[in-house]
Chains A and B, each alone.
Chain A
Amino acid sequence: MTSIGTGYDLSVSTYSPDGRVFQVEYAQKAVDNSGTAIGLRVKDGVVLAVEKIKHSRLLVPDSNRRIMTAGRHIGVASAGWMSDTRHLVQRTRDEARNYHDVYKADIPAKIIAERMGMYIQAYTLYSAVRPFGVSTILASVDADGPQLYMIEPSGQYVGYHGCAAGKGKQVAKTEIEKLKLSEMTAREAVKEAARIIYTAHDESKDKLFELELSWVCDESNGRHTRVPQDLVDEAIQHAERSLDEDDDDEMDDDEE
């Protein structure tokens, strides 16, 4: 529901009369303008996929990565301002390192999600700073198994089986809801993630895009790594094929 909050939206330390903090909502808009990012938590791991929209053909392929690693077993994908993301990932790394220094153990997913949530929330308290224009998707495998969290610009974080953020999040969420995630393997999820990103991608708005895929799963030994190139290629083929099938279906309907 869009509305401008004239007068009450100038600073994040101001509530509107109907109880909203507009600056945080505007931050959410910044997220919604960015390329889609999704996370899928399945039986044996978590998969992250990002629609990296390229604004120029001159960009070096595979540069300006949007999925980052914040600790061997933690992957971060984001939708929103990349500069804010870089800062947040640095903070995530520091928090994970700090936890390890004290407890000599890898930081559990729910703890790092909480620390990130608290950090991001802190920037919604003071008029001297602005909220982060990022929705952070955190993927990790710890002693309790694979886990997926999404932290919004308000600092609120929730655990998910599947989540999406960015331009195509509505389309992506609809597709994700059709999947039986708890029965899927990470390999299968990679293909589905690619397909969903391709489906959510709007050809008419942004012609050029690159698909980024990463996972933390049994096959990657619990580490956050990029999906191996052969599986990426397979996934992209699967994605393109299913888009063609959708087009064919539409054509059949017309001919009738």
Chain B
Amino acid sequence: MASLKPGEVNLGTTIMAVEFDGGVVIGADSRTTTGPYIANRVTDKLTKVHDRIYCCRSGSAADTQAIADIVQYHLQLYTAQHGEAPTVKVAASLFQEICYQNKNALLAGIIVAGWDERDGASVYNVPLGGSLHRETYSIGGSGSSYIYGYCDKVFREGMGKEECIEFVKNAVSLAMSRDGSSGGVVRLAVITKDGVERMFVPGNQLPPQYEG
């Protein structure tokens, strides 16, 4: 498995995506670190690869940006050739193909989420080795370790859009308060048939967490 090369920046990160009936809510923190230095404290880790398909990036900033660029290109080409938008599954498969075939050279944990005509809302996790997992909700990045218990306890099937937004906001905030590599602001996006709504929660307006 690759480790960060000297000078490479790390998306320490907490990323998350949750499926609901009619769409997905995705969220992430905003901290990028080079060692102890926070290179960017307002990073946007939610990257668009197609009109209704986003990815949440964790791991090496360079690697995930490069991969997302390539997938974005492929999805544009797909749309031109097929005459229709790709499914989230196709997008996730492209991420998987790149991550698996180059597993020795990459450090990328990606969550792909979005909405398409054929399958509706879906969330796919592509962790370090390049495997593909469809999940109702998915968490990733170094901060995710601290919120597995919280998420398992709080998540319920059949949550609506507003509940999912609260779920993501609270979970990511909790991870940010415990993980040194996660912090800053919480960026959210809600993807539905009708479009993408981006939201932003500044650092001083995060849900309060127990700090001892």
Contact = CB atoms under 8 A, between A and B. Distances in A.
B93 A105 contact: yes
**Interface of B, helix, strand, loop or mixed by DSSP:** helix
Contacts of A58: none
A222 to B, nearest CB: 16
A143 B82 CA distance: 12
B82 A105 contact: no
Interface string B63-83: 000000000000000100110
A101 interface: yes
A157 to B, nearest CB: 15
Contact of B96 (A104, A110, A114): A104
Interface in B92-147: 93-94, 96-97, 118, 132
A104 B81 contact: no
Interface string A202-244: 0000000000000000000000000000000000000000000
Interface string A92-120: 00000000011111001011001000000
A103 B81 CA distance: 13
B89 A108 contact: no
A103 B93 contact: yes
B82 A111 contact: yes
B118 A103 contact: no
A143 B93 contact: no
Nearest to B93: A104
Contacts of A143: 118
Given A102-B97, A104-B96, A143-B118, A111 B90 contact: no
A193 B97 CA distance: 42
A137 B82 CA distance: 21
A114 B118 CA distance: 23
Contacts of A114: 81
Chain A interface size, under 10 / 10 to 19 / 20 to 34 / 35 or more: 10 to 19
Contacts of B96: 104
A86 B23 CA distance: 46
Contacts of A104: 89-90, 93, 96-97, 132
A143 B84 CA distance: 12
A110 B78 CA distance: 13
Contacts of A102: 93-94, 97
Interface string A169-203: 00000000000000000000000000000000000
Among A101, A102, A114, find the residue whose CB has the most chain B CB atoms closer than 10 A. A102
B130 to A, nearest CB: 12
A101 B97 CA distance: 8
A102 B75 CA distance: 12
A108 B97 contact: no
Contacts of B90: 103-105
Among A104, A108, A110, find the residue whose CB has the most chain B CB atoms closer than 10 A. A104
Contact of B81 (A101, A105, A111): A111
Nearest to B132: A104
A108 B94 contact: no
A47 B97 CA distance: 35
B97 A105 contact: no
Interface string A4-28: 0000000000000000000000000
A114 B81 CA distance: 10
19 contacts: A102-B93, A102-B97, A103-B93, A103-B94, A104-B89, A104-B90, A104-B93, A104-B96, A104-B97, A104-B132, A105-B87, A105-B89, A105-B90, A105-B93, A108-B82, A110-B82, A111-B81, A111-B82, A114-B81
Interface of B: 78, 81-82, 87, 89-90, 93-94, 96-97, 118, 132
Q: Nearest 3 CB-CB pairs, A to B? A: A104-B93, A103-B90, A103-B93
